[in-house]
Amino acid sequence: MPDGRPLVIEGARIVDPSRGLDAIGSVVIRDGRIAAAGPDALNQGAPDGASRLDARGRTAIPGLVDMRVFVGEPGGEHRETLATASRAAAAGGVTTIVTMPDTSPIIDDPALVDFVLRRARDTAKVNVHPMAALTRGLMGEELSEFGLLQEAGAVAFTQGRTSLRNAQVMRNALTYARDFDALIVHHTEDRDLAAAGVMNEGETATRLGLPGIPREAEAIMLDRDLKLARLTGARYHAAQLSCGQSLWSIRRAKEAGLAVTAGAAIAHLALNENDIGAYRTFFKMSPPLRGEDDRRALVEGLADGTLDVICSAHDPQDVEGKRQPFAEAADGAIGLETLFAVGLRLVHDGDVTLTRLVDTMSTRPAALLKLDAGTLAPGAPADLVLVDLDRPWVVSEQALRSKARNTAFEGARLTGKVMRTLVGGRTVFQHDDGVDKPHG
C-alpha cells in the first residue's frame, strides 16, 4: 500500500494454480508481498493497522504474465511505448509483460537490455522483462552473446516475428542455450513455404482471392526444431501455434521426455479465418487465423495440457500499417487489455476450467521464464488481480489504453472484467462504477 500499511482483501474467491487452490478466503499483503492467501489467511487475525478491502463477489488470481508483447520503444514510440503498453496491461490484469527484441535498435546487446529495464522502472506501471535477440541484428547468422545478455536481465532468446531459417545456426543456438539453461522461444514458420501468403490456405482464401499459407509451413519448421531440441537437450518453446498438426508434434515430443513447451495467442483460440470477413486487416496476423477445426484443436490442446501458455501476441500497428489492401497490410493486433476477458469465453463455454486458464496465463509462463511471479503463495510479490467474472462489457477501441487501436475484438461482448490490479501490493488500475481509474 502507498501508506505502508498492510492490506487485507477479504471474502474473495481465491484461484491459485500454483497451490491447487480454489476457495473463498482472504489475502494479506505486507511490504509489497503476500503474507497469507487462502481460507485460513486470517486465523491469526488481521495485522495491526491494516487497510481492509471487501472483495465479496470478486475472484482473486495471480497477476497475468504475458510472454509475447511487442512494444515500439526504442525506435517505434509512435506505435507503443513501455508506458502505454503497461497501462493497457494493468487494465487487462497483466502484471508482467515480456517484451520482444524487434525494436530499433534490436535488443542484441547487454546495454540495450539495461536500457529497457531502466525505462521500464522509470515509466511502466507493471513488471517488464525483455527477451533478447537470438542472433545479432536478428539476421539469422551470428549468435548473440547469451551469457552476457542473460546477466544483463534477458529472460529468454527469440527471433521475434521471424523464424531462424538455417538449421545449423539453430542447432548451435540450442546447444549454446543448453549450457546457460536458457530458454529458446521460436516463431515457427517456413518462409519459403509461406512465400507471399497472407492468410490461411484453403477455401476461404480462394474465395477472397488471397494467397494462402499452408499449415505445413508451421508444422515442418516445428518438426525441425523438435528434432534439434532432441539432439541438443535444450529447453525450447514454440511461441504461438495455430494448427492441429503442430499439436500432434508437441504431444509426441512431450511423451518422449523432451524439454519442450508450446503457446498459442488468444486470437487463435477465439477466432478463425471467417472473421476476416470483407478483408478486415485487423484480423491479419502471423501465424494466420486458421479454420474452425484448427481452432477447436487448439482449445482441446489447452484443456489437455498440450499447450502450456496463452499469450496476447500484442503487436501494435499504426493507421498507415493497417489502412492498406489486406495483402499489403501489416500483421498483428493489440491484445493486452482483452487477453483475460477473451480467455474467459473458454471458461464460460465450459471448454476449460478457470484454474487451467489462470495456469496458462500466469503460473506456467512465470515458471518457464523463472520469474518470481504467477503465484499467491506466502512470500511472493503481491502481484494480483481482482476480477468480476460475471460483469458484461463491450470492447471499444477508443476506450483501450494502448497507443495503437488495431484490436481484433472491437465491439465484442465479453463477460468478465478486471476490477483492480495490484503490482507489488500497490494498486495500478481500478475500475469503479463504470469509470476506469488508472493509479500511480
Stretch(es) of the chain classified as CATH 3.20.20.140:
62-368
Per-residue pLDDT, 3: 64
**Residue 434: pLDDT above 60?**
no
Confidence bin at 42 (pLDDT 50/70/90): confident
For the CA atoms of 363, 409, 307, 259, the dihedral, rounded to the nearest 10 degrees, stands at -70
Measured in degrees and rounded to the nearest 5, phi and psi for residue 429 equal -155, 140
The C-alpha cell at 112 is 540495450
What pLDDT, on a 0 to 100 scale, did the predictor assign at position 115?
98
The per-residue pLDDT for 73 is: 96
Phi/psi of residue 53, each to 5°?
Answer: -130, 120
What's the first-to-final CA gap in the chain, in angstroms? Answer: 11
Q: How far apart are alpha carbons 84 and 92 in whole angstroms? A: 13
Minimal CA–CA distance to 243: which of 208, 209, 217?
217
Would you state the pLDDT for residue 117? 98
pLDDT of residue 74: 96
Does residue 392 contact residue 306 with C-beta atoms inside 8 Å? Answer: no
Instruction: Write the burial class of residue 275 (CB in 10 Å: 0-12 exposed, 13-18 middle, 19+ buried).
Output: middle
Examine the pLDDT at 6 and tell me if it is beyond 80.
yes
Q: What is the mean pLDDT of the chain?
A: 96
- The arithmetic mean of pLDDT across residues 5-18, rounded, is 97
pLDDT for residue 43: 84
pLDDT digits (tens, 9 = 90+) for 160-191: 999 999 999 999 999 999 999 999 999 999 99
**CATH 2.30.40.10 domain position(s) in the chain:** 7-61+380-388+410-438
Per-residue pLDDT, averaged over 306-317, amounts to: 98
pLDDT for position 340: 98
Beta 235-238 vs 260-265: how paired, if at all? Answer: parallel
Q: What is the mean pLDDT of residues 420-436?
A: 83
Q: Which helix (H) or strand (E) holds 45?
A: none
| Interval 22-31: pLDDT, tens | 999 999 999 9
Residue 313 DSSP one-character state: -
The rounded distance, in Å, linking the Cα atoms of 186 and 377 is 31
Cross-strand partners of 22: 15
Residue 27, SS3? Answer: strand
pLDDT value of position 439 = 45
The band of 437, judged by pLDDT with boundaries at 50, 70 and 90, is very low
Three-state DSSP state, 270: helix
The CATH code for residues 62-368 is: 3.20.20.140
In 3-state terms, what secondary structure has residue 205?
A: helix
Considering the domain 7-61+380-388+410-438 in this protein, what is its CATH number? 2.30.40.10
The proportion of the chain whose per-residue pLDDT surpasses 90, expressed as a percent, equals 95
pLDDT of residue 438: 43
Q: What are 375's strand-pairing partners?
A: none
C-alpha distance from residue 284 to each of 99, 325, 337, 360, 412 (Å): 21, 11, 19, 24, 17
pLDDT tens readout for residues 367-382: 999 999 999 999 999 9
- Which residues contact residue 191 at a Cβ distance below 8 angstroms, ignoring those fewer than 6 apart? 162, 163, 165
Kindly report the backbone phi and psi dihedral angles of residue 125, in degrees, each rounded to the nearest multiple of 5, phi listed first: -90, -20
Measured distance CA(342)–CA(347) in Å, rounded: 10
Model pLDDT, residue 435? 38
Task: Say if CB 130 and CB 99 are below 8 A apart.
Answer: yes
Average pLDDT over residues 307-324: 96
What is the rounded CA–CA span in Å between residue 166 and residue 262? Answer: 21
